[in-house]
Structure formats: C-alpha cells, structure tokens
Amino acid sequence: MLRDITPVTVVVGGFFGDEGKGKVAAYLGLKDMPSAAVRTGSINAGHTVSFNGVVWKLRSVPSAFLCRSCRLYIPAGALINLDIFLDEVEKTKCGDRIFVDFNTGVITDEHVFRETTDELMKLIGSTKQGVGAAVSDRVMRKLKLAKEYEVLKNYLRDVALEVNEYADRGGKVLVEGTQGLYLSLYFGTYPYVTSRDTSASGVLSEVGLGPKKVDDVLVVFKSYVTRVGEGPLPNELNPDEVVRLGFSERASVTGRVRRAAPFNMELARKALIINSATQVALTKVDVLFRDARNVREWGKLPVEVRNWVSEVENVLKVPITLIGTGEDVMAMVDLRQDVFGSLRR
Ligand code: IMP
Ligand code: MG
C-alpha cells in the first residue's frame, strides 16, 4: 500500500540529549504541518527553537508550536510544572490549541526540594527540577495529576485517544522525544541517567501510541557528542580541545558547561538498533565544517561535508534525511524527497 511521507513520526535523541531535537521538531512542524504535535518527557529537558532571530527555550510546549494549524499535546506519561507550563503557553501564544492529558503528572516545589537535598542527585549531576522525585511519587501512586488542578481545566483532554484518532484518520502526527538514548533509565549509563526511558518505545508509551501506529522513527545525532552532568563520556575531550574545536555549549535548563567528545559511531549504531530507526537527522554540521553554515541544499554543501555525511551513512546504514547547518529552524538540508520520493511504500 502506498502512503504519504511519514504520517506518524517520532523524533528521539541518539546520544546524551541536546542533539537538536527541538530544532528538528520545529522544522518538521513548519515543513510538514502535522495535525498534532506531542511533547513527551518533562522540564529537565530544554528544547531550543530559533526562528527569524527569535529564540525560545521550551521545557513543556512542543517545539512544533511554530506551525499555527497544529494542535499541541502534553501526554499522560509527561510531567509538567504549572508555572512553567502556563508561562510557556503565554510566550508561545498557543493557549487555544494546546491540550494536557487528564493523567499528566504535576511536579511541585516539594519535589524540587527533595532533589536539591538528595546526595545521589548531586552525585549524578541531576538538573534538580523535581522530575525524578515526581516520577517516584507516581510509581507509589501519590502524585497529583493534571485533572486535580482547577487552573488546567480548559486544557484537559484524553490526549491518548485524540492522538490515536489523528493517526487512524491518516493525519500527520509528530511525537517529540526528549533527552537521548544514553540517558535512558534502562539503556543509558545507569545510575548516571534520567528518570524515564528515552527510547522511541518509551516515548510512545508516554503518549499511548502503540508500536504499529508509527511510520518513522527519526533519530537525531549532533555532529559531535555532548553530555551535561556526571557519568561516562567515551573519548571525552579536555576543556581546551572543546574550545578549540568549537564544541563549547551551555545547558539550556541549568546553564552548566557541556562536556564534549567527537562523533561516536558505536554509540550511534546501538541507538539506531534500540530505537528501530528509519531515518537519521545530523545536526550542527556547520560546527565541524564552517562552510556548511546555513546551506539548505545538498548540492551546495562543500564536497568534504558531503563526503563526511556519506561516510557516516555508510557505517550507520540508515538514511540521513535531515542535515542541520545553523541555529535557525530553516537552516536545514532536507533529503527526504530524494531518499524516499514523494510516495513511500
Ligand atoms: P535529571 O533527569 O534532571 O535527574 O538528571 C539526570 C541526568 O540527566 C543528569 O546528568 C542531567 O544532566 C541529565 N539530563 C537530564 N535532562 C537532560 C537534557 O534534557 N539534556 C541533557 N542532559 C539531561
Ligand atoms: Mg536540551
């Protein structure tokens, strides 16, 4: 059966988070105009969206908010903080088209307090946003859910059912994962991990989308690897090297300096397997190759960039369909038509 390109797509990170999922999801929002965009995970993850000189750092609202016709969803498996959620809704002016599941978890100051005073959280370098404490309350069935808060009344929906309805009707659905595979509670560098499974399956389970509903799993890799907080980072560069190579970054939620290492094929291959990837997005190639900056066509990329991307693709054996060349959402080489054609089996 022939079908339209990527009706239900899940975007996940393949390293330690901060691969550029926010930019990729925002690009897919503007380009594909999905009917629904769902943001999973929680406020420990910050997604940066930079469009026409305006920058948003989002911890709750889906990055595809730029697409004005898109309905935005926070699913049952996600957790919100009321102040952060309401603030972002106002800043992105999406109050009339964003919806929260009745069962979405709510983080309170008490959860933040528990994490800031916890020795193990300090040791692993937690962002201390209260996410892990709230998840543990949820496991113990003590966490308050969105439906218990009057202030959320107008946003409440059965997100799982609504999103499945879009998918069943053939509408495009974009699921935005948060963090990266190696921060997964199950597949990451435990105990230096976050409080959830960050793989595509974990992300889909937070939404209530079954595995058969998904057409594309897009794994995002940055052209180098970064990690914030503690825990192993293979081939970690020393701070001088990080600066020299232009890999210096700061975490968007905590402002901490990110540790860095060169692109890692081994980690990437495993991430593709566990996520059952169908496509790869490679971001920030302009950091490795200055001449790639803001290029939007494959043919206009310098030949050394094209050679490097092809080499990576040959090793990974999954098509690289999106190549990020700058901060702006639209600074992207989009190869999906070339790779798959307009229709796809
Ligand atoms: P927590 O999830 O805030 O407790 O943090 C646990 C570990 O995951 C720490 O090393 C954090 O730096 C890391 N982490 C959590 N969320 C993100 C993210 O969105 N990007 C990068 N690292 C993250
Ligand atoms: Mg981030």
Say how many Å lie between the CA of residue 276 and the centre of ligand 1.
23
Amino acid at 259: R
Can you tell me the mean pLDDT for 202-212? 97
Are the CB atoms for 11 and 283 separated by under 8 Å? no
Residues at Cβ < 5 Å from ligand 2 ion: 18, 46, 252
- Ligand 1 atom at minimal distance to the Cα of residue 129: 3
Catalytic residue set: 18, 47
Q: What is the pLDDT of residue 342?
A: 57
Sequence length of the chain is: 345
Q: Which ligand is nearest to the CA of 254?
A: 1
- Ligand 1 pocket test: pick from 127, 131, 193, 253 the residue with the most ligand atoms within 8 Å of its Cβ: 127
Tell me the C-alpha to C-alpha distance, in Å, between residue 19 and each of 58, 69, 86, 181.
15, 26, 26, 11
The DSSP code sequence of 285-308 is HHHH-GGGTT---GGGS-HHHHHH
pTM of the predicted structure, to 2 decimals: 0.96
Angle between helices 159-168 and 200-207 (to 10 degrees): 110
The DSSP code sequence of 198-248 is -SHHHHHHHHT--GGG--EEEEEEESEEEE-SSS--TTPPPHHHHHHTT--
Can you tell me the mean pLDDT for 330-340? 94
Say how many Å lie between the CA of residue 155 and the centre of ligand 1.
28
Can you tell me the mean pLDDT for 15-41? 98
Say how many Å lie between the CA of residue 251 and the centre of ligand 2.
6
Give the chain's mean pLDDT: 96
Is CATH 3.40.50.740 the classification given to domain 8-344?
A: no
Q: What is the pLDDT of residues 274-308, one digit of tens each?
A: 999 999 999 999 999 999 999 999 999 999 999 99
Q: Band the pLDDT of 3: cuts 50, 70, 90.
A: very low
Distance of alpha carbon 245 from alpha carbon 287, whole angstroms: 8
> Using only C-alpha atoms, what is the Rg of the chain?
19
Q: Which residue has the least CA distance to atom 11 on ligand 1?
A: 126
Distance of alpha carbon 55 from alpha carbon 57, whole angstroms: 7
SS3 content of the chain, % helix, strand, coil (to 5): 35, 25, 40
Backbone angles phi, psi at 206, to 5 degrees: -65, -30
Least confident of 145-154, 250-259, 284-293: 250-259
Q: Band the pLDDT of 340: cuts 50, 70, 90.
A: confident
Residues with C-beta less than 6 Å from any ligand 1 atom? 16-18, 44-45, 124-127, 129, 131-132, 178-179, 183, 192, 194-195, 228-229, 231
Q: What is the pLDDT of residues 156-186, one digit of tens each?
A: 999 999 999 999 999 999 999 999 999 999 9
Q: What is the pLDDT of residue 2?
A: 45
Q: Which residue has the least CA distance to atom 21 on ligand 1?
A: 17
Q: Band the pLDDT of 341: cuts 50, 70, 90.
A: confident
Q: Which residue has the least CA distance to atom 17 on ligand 1?
A: 45
Say how many Å lie between the CA of residue 294 and the centre of ligand 2.
21
Say how many Å lie between the CA of residue 49 and the centre of ligand 1.
19
Give residue limits of the domains in the chain. Answer: 8-344
Q: Are strands 54-58 and 47-51 parallel, antiparallel or unpaired?
A: antiparallel
Q: Which residue has the least CA distance to atom 9 on ligand 1?
A: 126
- Ligand 1 atom at minimal distance to the Cα of residue 194: 2
Distance of alpha carbon 159 from alpha carbon 162, whole angstroms: 5
